[in-house]
Amino acid sequence: MNEKIRILAIAATAVLGAACGPAPTNPTTGTIDADASQVTYDMNMRVTENGILKADLFADTAITPVGETRTQMKKVRLTFFNPGEPPSKLTSKTGEYDQQSGAMIARGNVVLIVPGDKGPRTIKSEELHWDQRSDRVWSELVTSINEAGQTLVTKGFTSNAKFTNVQGNDARVTGVKVGEGGIRF
């Protein structure tokens, strides 16, 4: 390589290196922080299945540790979609979403409002699980489910995502029919 090209290559490398800036360092040790988490503010993620929108997930803050598939979220807002039906909406203080399995856990003042045959159905709990692949929503904690003046208070429940098959455990009910296999709306 002639001297002129070599000098230009060295100059270009120096300019590119300066433009990129120094590698991130840990202020206390001066070393590169290889264990840093990915932090996202005002996160918005769309969850699809076979190209169909299943959910729209928002969080004020989302943290994903390096090498992990689970994202920890704060101030969660989630909208579920079922084709041909009004959407369901969930809010919670925190949440965890596993990108690999598609499962989500909402925690802290969880409120889920879903369309029902008799109007909106409101589900409240301190923890709510959703597994899109198995079409299942559940909680193992005390949960109240209200719809059109009917209330189911249970120590856990399981349902499909459309809430057409809700079954509660150790339930107290008002205005709800008790049938085979548990309590159903």
Please report, for the domain that includes residue 84, its CATH number: 2.60.450.10
Give yes or no for residue 104 having a pLDDT over 80: yes
State pTM to two decimals: 0.71
Q: 63 is in which domain, residue-wise? A: 34-183
pLDDT on residue 10: 33
Look at residue 130 and tell me if it is in a domain.
yes
Look at residue 175 and tell me if it is in a domain.
yes
| Higher-scoring residue by pLDDT: 90, 178 | 90
Please state which of the ranges 37-46, 67-76, 164-173 shows the lowest mean pLDDT.
164-173
Look at residue 66 and tell me if it is in a domain.
yes
Look at residue 26 and tell me if it is in a domain.
no
Three-state DSSP string of 134-185: CCEEEEEEEEEEEECCEEEEEEEEEECCCCCCCEECCCEEECCCEECCEECC
Give yes or no for residue 180 having a pLDDT over 80: no
Please state which of the ranges 33-42, 46-55, 80-89, 106-115 shows the lowest mean pLDDT.
33-42
Which residue from 45, 50, 47 is spatially nearest to 62, judged by alpha carbons? 45
User: Cβ distance 182 to 156 under 8 Å?
Assistant: no
Mean pLDDT of the chain: 77
User: Cβ distance 37 to 64 under 8 Å?
Assistant: yes
Look at residue 112 and tell me if it is in a domain.
yes
Mean pLDDT of 173-179: 57
Look at residue 10 and tell me if it is in a domain.
no
Instruction: Measure Cα distances from 111 to 62, 72, 128 in Å.
Output: 20, 18, 9
Give the pLDDT band of residue 175 (cuts 50, 70, 90): low
Look at residue 28 and tell me if it is in a domain.
no
User: Cβ distance 77 to 89 under 8 Å?
Assistant: yes
Mean pLDDT of 129-156: 89
Mean pLDDT of 123-141: 92
Give the pLDDT band of residue 3 (cuts 50, 70, 90): very low
pLDDT on residue 42: 96
- For 12-51, the pLDDT digits (tens) are 333 333 334 444 444 444 444 445 688 999 999 998 888 9
Look at residue 59 and tell me if it is in a domain.
yes
Give the pairing of strands 119-131 and 88-98: unpaired
In this structure, the chain runs to a length of 185
Looking at the structure of the chain, the number of domains it has is 1
Q: Which helix (H) or strand (E) holds 17?
A: helix 3-20
d(CA 85, CA 165): 16
d(CA 49, CA 34): 33
| Higher-scoring residue by pLDDT: 107, 159 | 107
Cα angle 139, 119, 167; round to 5: 30
3-class secondary-structure state, position 6: helix
Percent of residues, the chain, with pLDDT higher than 70: 74
